[in-house]
Amino acid sequence: MEFLTLDVILNSLGEVGSTVLYILVGTLLLEIIVYFLWRPLEIFSGLVDRVLKPMGDPVRHGLSTLLLVGVLVFTVASVSVGVEQSPPPWAPYWPLAIVAFLVGAFISPTAPKIFHWQLRLPYMLFAPALVGLLVLVIYPLLWELNVSFTNLNPKHFKAPDFVGLKNYIDVFTTPVLKQVTFFPVFLRTILWTVINVAFHVTGGMALALLLNRKLKLKGLYRTLLVFPWAIPQPVACLAWRGEFHFEYGFVNILLQRIGLPAIQWMTTPFWNFAAMCITNIWLGIPFMMVILLGGLQSIAGEYYEAAEIDGASGWQQFWNVTIPLLQPILTPAIILGTVWTFTNFNVPFFINQNELETSDTLVTALFRSAFQYFNLGDAAAFAFVNFGILLIFAILYIRVTGGLKGATE
Amino acid sequence: MKRSILTIVALTTLITLVLAACCPEPVVTTEKVVETQVVTEKEEVVVTKEVQVEVPATMEDVEIVLWTKEGEADGGLQFVQALADAYTAEHPNITFEVVNKDVETLREDFLTAGLAGSMPDLLWTVNDHAGPFTDAELIMAVDDMFDLSLYVDSALAAAELGGKTWGVPISNGNHLMLLYNKDLVETPPTNTEELITMGKELTTGDQYGLVFNQTEPFWLVPWLGGFGGAVFADDGTTPTLNTPEMIATLQFLYDIKYTDTIVPPESDYDGADTLFKEGKAAMIINGDWSLGGYKDALGDKLGVARIPMVVGGEWPHPYTSGTYFMLPEGLEGAKLEAVKGFVKYATNANNQALMIAKLNRLPALKAALDDPLIANDPILKGSADQMVVGTPMPTVSEMRCNWDAMKPEMQAVLANTKSPEDAAAAMQTAAETCIANLE
Amino acid sequence: MTATTSSQRRKPNALQRFFKSGREDSPFKRIVIHAVLIICCIIAVYPVLRVFSVSIRPGDRLLSTSLAIIPKDATFEAYKTVLIDKEFPVWLWNSIAITGSTAIVGVILAASSAYAFSRWKFPGRGPSLVFLLSTQMLPAPMMMVPIYILATKLGLTQTYRGLVIAYSVTSVPFSIWILKGYYDTIPHDLEEAALIDGVSRLSAFWRIILPLSTPALAIVFLFSFMTAWNDYLLARVMIASERSLWTWVLGVRDFQSQFQTQWGLFSAASILVSIPVMALFLYSSKWLISGLTLGSVKG
């Protein structure tokens, strides 16, 4: 048992401080290395480019892609998964892979474009974050990819077998856990997301409109209304779970006081889903309200005056002045809200106390499959299908809203 | 009082002699006299023992990382820590890092640690972890390392798989029993007919005759046993959930809720627990871990009895298991010796007596069963009485599939959304799918 | 931008009037607005009050048939226990130390990277941005096992170091997107002018852009802070076996066991933990509002 003595505080400050220092120093070193490496690389890449020009661009692109893809496959296949799995027979050839990577990188016609002297700064600035992400995100990703092609579970633990695409096929054909298969869970997750975001936006907008005026106690209202966002999510979820209790929760007590029968929130699929939605809506409206309120406050009053002079009614003002001017904020808010709701784990997991399969979203089903049975092969495949769906959504969204525009505007 | 001291001393000497004879110890040198005070409700029993201090062959410094599922709520974690500290006091070169993880977390983290090759040195956990851990070959069989004849058979049986034993039992029990409020119930019912009659009389206003956790199948299996059924066939891995016995069990649970209405309309663990503590439930079916809390809340009004016999059937067989030491694979040398020494120490008669007193649990050491603490405490006596008709909880990893299959169906029947027949059939298919997936 | 209008002026009905953010609201309208807001506030706050009432109720009774916020036998015993007998202050301190350093490192890493994305069009920029966005969409449970394996191999488990690194890196993608968006609204002329004067690019970044983007930096700091503060999965993977390093999230879960939960302590700890978060949030809410909009609407 440790108590908060001065020793403990100083100790932890020391450790934490040294970590921050290490990271900063490491970042600086990395950036310096990149910075000074750029010129030699530029010269080298220019040389290679001149020498290889007769080969023609398409050939070079093709070769380069081939080599790089090969290196990728090699890397994925070399990430060993089982504890007692002997490294694959091609593992000792990793120096070859590095050479292949370098060759593939420099053959490509885009190499000289990258190693341009002007571009040393952006790459240098991005390098530390990139390295950190590569380590912390890429390695787990590759590991999971590898696992998704094996049958890693307690019965095949130390030396799992390669099973190819079997897990991926299973994702779509066999039940995720007991009875429900992929598409119902997927559709339910979409329904969950749409319902929640719709209520978040409408509710947030309504409250923001109400608060967007000279009002006594406005600060107090804003403070209180923000409670759901400031409370840690797990605590809020457990609080709401208690409120949906059949006998003791205030929801049923209220219902009974106004004469309606008490609802079995925890055991009925429909009502359990409703309970999840109610909780998440309660949690999500404050965030929307804050964002939209900020947006509303920055819309200059002149627009409304101009509209009124033109004879627009309140409703028309809303649709034709407020919404369009709010668009730049509304869009990212909606997208963020959608992504966060889709991948929300806490609410469906904790509200669904009785682990009803009918209340699972993709993320909770994945969690149960992975950890309750430690069926990592299946879970990994499932996770990648999930990821693929979201990735397609992300790419489409960026296309539609032009989110990448920036430096040339 | 004198008699009990003599018995204990005699027992201890006997045990140490047996231990010394059967298990070749590296070095046995000094003998120390350790005086311990065991405090019970009724009397203070001073226990004086002769403890043989086993000095390990090497005196190198060993740190044992012990993962335990014991939490603070019922005093378990404190007990484990106290044991570790006491052992370190006698063997200063052996230190402990006691880490508490709840049951699910412990299982997940141990498997993950197995994948990373960084397992702890000793586990103090529940029996059904043996299933997945043996599948993954992460723990060692203990038959050759300890004298298992010292332990209660039912405790050992619950940790047996494939002919070998995978855990050293610490406590026995973890079983459900009938607890009642003596203010409301004079004599507990002995069969289900009496249960229903008494329950009807006692269910008035906001008071209920009987409460239990209606969401977990752990509360269903005793009744299943009472109706003569079991979740596995004789081979121990084929699920037998779609049976007349299961249908009868589900029907019974449905009846006591909807036909006889002696249980609340919706009740999970906390709901049942609250009602009983507030005195609004006459009887509750709960496990030995809850005894401490109810003793605090109800004091002398707490009574313990067997779950009533099924009329036309048998005494219900609640699952018994307990807590076990499990040894991760790869232990060797000085560490293995240290771990073995600690396991023996923690399960010796002295510490078993302490455990009985502090945690209200039944011991796994045969010798400790005769401890007067049990005989003199009506609560523990009732608990032991129930355990006699218990059945060891299956520990194969397929059991988890059974639990997960039974849970939603049981809830559906109790929510009146499925008939017992449909539920039983659904359970069977779900379990079979799940077991197929385990491959 | 003028609004498209209809030629006739229709008398707005009640609902339309309601939503019009007018300057001259009738007293009746004001009362209605206040009433609605009060109801919403009650809905927002009530569940939290119920958690509070569990924390002052003796005997670990999660549920109760009475709706009273303050039970008859209320006691602050749970708070005393949590603060004095348990290691709660240590957990709280650990959380503060870890989360604070995470936020700092996160801001530093993100600020420089976002500048690169905002000011240059380099090969790989597009795919990199998509990659950053996609890291937000990885289900966290999926990453737990490999992160643990990696951390074990690197010796980063059971240390502050590992957790700080993990938290910083996971907050970077989102931070980069926000900061990039903000930098995009700062006109290039400022830097152009500086460059003409002979100042280096980096120096311009340091001296001109960064001071201008304090609101956005504050937002990134806050978001990183809040995400790390409430995180359970990464903390469990990295430091769960070292009790002295536990964050409050791990510590509070300690009050739960398989069948029983010490609800009194759990709720008391939950309330205590929410206080710093709410204080921090309320203090920074001004910045949050103006910051989020500074990057988009130019009114």
- Are residues A209 and A347 located together in one domain of the fold? yes
- Which stretch of A18-22, A171-175, A312-316, C59-63 has the lowest confidence by average pLDDT? C59-63
A395/A213 Cα distance (integer angstroms): 39
In a domain, A177, yes or no: no
Query: Domains of chain C by range and CATH?
Result: 26-75 (no CATH), 86-294 (1.10.3720.10)
Q: Which two tokens stand for residue B416?
A: 């009146």
- Are residues A35 and A130 located together in one domain of the fold? yes
Name the closest residue on chain B to residue C250, using Cα atoms.
B101
A44/B4 Cα distance (integer angstroms): 90
Q: Which residue has the higher pLDDT, C266 or B98?
A: B98
Asked if B358 and B79 count as a contact pair (C-beta separation under 8 A), the reply is yes
Calculate mean pLDDT across residues C55-84.
70
Confidence of residue C72 (pLDDT cuts 50, 70, 90): low
SS3 B191: strand
Record: contact B100-C254, CB cut-off 8 A: yes
**Contacts with C, A 181-200, CB within 8 Å:** none
Calculate mean pLDDT across residues A11-29.
85
- Are residues A114 and A263 located together in one domain of the fold? no
Predicted confidence (pLDDT) per residue in B115-131, tens digit: 888 889 999 999 989 98
Per the prediction, chain C carries an average pLDDT of: 75
Q: Which of C263, C98, A177, B383 is nearest to B373 (CA)?
A: B383
Where in chain B are the domains?
2-173+321-391, 176-317+397-437
- Which stretch of A184-188, C136-140, C159-163 has the lowest confidence by average pLDDT? C136-140
Chain A interface mutation, best of C18, C169, C233, C238, highest count of A Cβ atoms under 10 Å: C169
Name the closest residue on chain B to residue C64, using Cα atoms.
B274
Given this model, what pLDDT does residue A2 score?
59
**Contacts with A, C 196-235, CB within 8 Å:** 201-202, 229-230, 232
Record: contact B136-A248, CB cut-off 8 A: no
Calculate mean pLDDT across residues C42-48.
86
Q: Which residue has the higher pLDDT, A312 or C115?
A: C115
Record: contact B73-C262, CB cut-off 8 A: yes
Q: From chain B, pick out residues whose CB is under 8 angstroms from the CB of A246.
A: 264-267, 271
Asked if A214 and C30 count as a contact pair (C-beta separation under 8 A), the reply is no
For chain B, say whether A355 makes contact (Cβ under 8 Å).
yes
Same CATH topology for B2-173+321-391 and B176-317+397-437: the answer is yes
Asked if B113 and B330 count as a contact pair (C-beta separation under 8 A), the reply is no
**Contacts with C, A 111-130, CB within 8 Å:** 113-114, 119, 121-123, 125-126, 128-130
Record: contact C61-B100, CB cut-off 8 A: no
Q: Which two tokens stand for residue A257?
A: 């006081």
Is the confidence at residue A257, as pLDDT, over 60? Answer: yes
- Report CA torsion sign: C135, C139, C145, C151: positive
- Are residues A121 and A55 located together in one domain of the fold? yes
| CATH number for the domain harbouring residue A309 | 1.10.3720.10
- Percent of the residues in chain A that have a pLDDT greater than 90, as a whole number: 4
Query: Quick one: CATH architecture of B176-317+397-437?
Result: 3-Layer(aba) Sandwich (3.40)
Name the closest residue on chain B to residue A155, using Cα atoms.
B135
CA distances from A396 to A186, A389, A392, A393, A400 (A): 19, 11, 6, 5, 6
Q: Which of A251-255, A368-372, B79-83, C219-223 shows the highest mean pLDDT? A: B79-83
Predicted confidence (pLDDT) per residue in C121-133, tens digit: 888 888 888 788 7
Compute CA B222 distance to the chain's CA centroid, rounded to the nearest angstrom. Answer: 14
- Are residues A140 and A194 located together in one domain of the fold? no
| Angle (deg, nearest 10), helices A182-211 and A376-401 | 40
Asked if C218 and C284 count as a contact pair (C-beta separation under 8 A), the reply is yes
Gap from A156 CA to chain B (nearest CA, Å): 7
The CA angle A378-A381-A383, to the nearest 5 degrees, is: 105
Q: Which of C257, C263, A2, C91 is nearest to B71 (CA)?
A: C257
Q: Which of B247, B248, B249, B252 is nearest to B262 (CA)?
A: B252
Domain that holds residue A324: 182-359
Is the confidence at residue A258, as pLDDT, over 50? Answer: yes
Gap from B8 CA to chain A (nearest CA, Å): 34
Q: Which residue has the higher pLDDT, A257 or B428?
A: B428
Q: Tokens 């700091």 label which residue?
A: C221
B68/B75 Cα distance (integer angstroms): 13
A307/A322 Cα distance (integer angstroms): 11
- Are residues A123 and A265 located together in one domain of the fold? no
Given this model, what pLDDT does residue B319 score?
92
Name the closest residue on chain B to residue A378, using Cα atoms.
B437
CA distances from C105 to A304, B361, B437, C155, C156 (A): 44, 50, 44, 20, 17
Q: Which of B354, B367, B205, B199 is nearest to B283 (CA)?
A: B199
- Are residues A124 and A186 located together in one domain of the fold? no
Q: Which two tokens stand for residue A210?
A: 């109400």
Pairing of strands B208-212, B281-287: parallel
Given this model, what pLDDT does residue A357 score?
67
Per the prediction, chain A carries an average pLDDT of: 79
Q: Which of A296, A311, A390 sits opposite C5 (nearest CB)?
A: A311
B225/B221 Cα distance (integer angstroms): 6
If one counts the domains in chain A, the total is: 2
Q: From chain C, pick out residues whose CB is under 8 angstroms from the CB of B287.
A: 259
> Of the candidates A148, A165, A199, which is a domain's last residue?
A148
Q: Tokens 């298992």 label which residue?
A: B148
CA distances from C221 to A101, A130, B269, C109, C111 (A): 37, 19, 41, 11, 11
Asked if C295 and C216 count as a contact pair (C-beta separation under 8 A), the reply is yes
Calculate mean pLDDT across residues C50-55.
79
Over A6-18, what HEC string results? HHHHHHHHHHHHH
Asked if A389 and A304 count as a contact pair (C-beta separation under 8 A), the reply is no
- Are residues A56 and A190 located together in one domain of the fold? no
DSSP C286: H
Q: Tokens 């974050």 label which residue?
A: A129
- Are residues A144 and A192 located together in one domain of the fold? no
Name the closest residue on chain C to residue A82, using Cα atoms.
C149
C78/C88 Cα distance (integer angstroms): 12
For chain A, say whether B397 makes contact (Cβ under 8 Å).
yes
- Are residues A82 and A131 located together in one domain of the fold? yes
Name the closest residue on chain B to residue A177, using Cα atoms.
B434
Given this model, what pLDDT does residue C59 score?
62
CATH class for the domain made up of B2-173+321-391: alpha beta
- Are residues A272 and A350 located together in one domain of the fold? yes
Record: contact B411-A174, CB cut-off 8 A: no
For chain B, say whether A371 makes contact (Cβ under 8 Å).
yes
Calculate mean pLDDT across residues C241-270.
74
Burial class (CB in 10 A: 0-12, 13-18, 19+), B269: buried
Over A306-320, what HEC string results? HHHHCCCCHHHHHHH
- Are residues A138 and A193 located together in one domain of the fold? no
Chain A interface mutation, best of B266, B397, B402, B422, highest count of A Cβ atoms under 10 Å: B266
Gap from B77 CA to chain C (nearest CA, Å): 11
Neighbours of B287 (CB within 10 A): 20
Predicted confidence (pLDDT) per residue in A160-219, tens digit: 888 888 888 888 877 666 566 778 888 888 899 999 999 999 999 888 888 877 777 777
B322/B173 Cα distance (integer angstroms): 5
Calculate mean pLDDT across residues C113-123.
86
A66/A56 Cα distance (integer angstroms): 16
DSSP B310: P
Residues 6+ apart with CB under 8 A from B255: none
SS3 A80: coil
Q: Tokens 């007293």 label which residue?
A: C27
In tens digits, what is the pLDDT along chain B, a chain of 439 residues?
444 444 444 444 444 444 434 433 444 444 444 444 444 433 344 444 444 445 444 568 888 999 998 887 778 888 999 999 999 998 888 999 888 888 888 998 899 888 888 889 999 999 989 989 998 889 999 998 888 888 888 888 888 888 899 999 999 888 999 999 998 988 999 999 999 999 998 888 888 999 999 988 999 999 999 999 999 988 888 999 999 999 999 999 999 998 888 888 778 888 888 889 888 899 999 998 888 888 888 888 999 999 999 998 899 999 988 899 999 988 888 889 999 999 999 988 888 888 888 888 888 888 888 878 888 888 888 888 888 888 888 888 889 889 988 988 898 898 888 899 999 999 998 888 888 877 7
Asked if C159 and C239 count as a contact pair (C-beta separation under 8 A), the reply is yes
Chains that contact A by 3+ CB pairs under 8 Å? Answer: B, C
Q: Which of B112, B116, B269 sits opposite C259 (nearest CB)?
A: B269
Q: What helix, strand, coil percent values describe chain A, rounded to 5?
A: 75, 0, 25
Predicted confidence (pLDDT) per residue in B298-353, tens digit: 888 999 999 999 998 899 999 988 899 999 988 888 889 999 999 999 988 888 88
Element (H, E) at B341: helix B333-346
Q: Which of A225, A313, A366 sits opposite C142 (nearest CB)?
A: A366
Chain B interface mutation, best of C260, C263, C265, C267, highest count of B Cβ atoms under 10 Å: C260
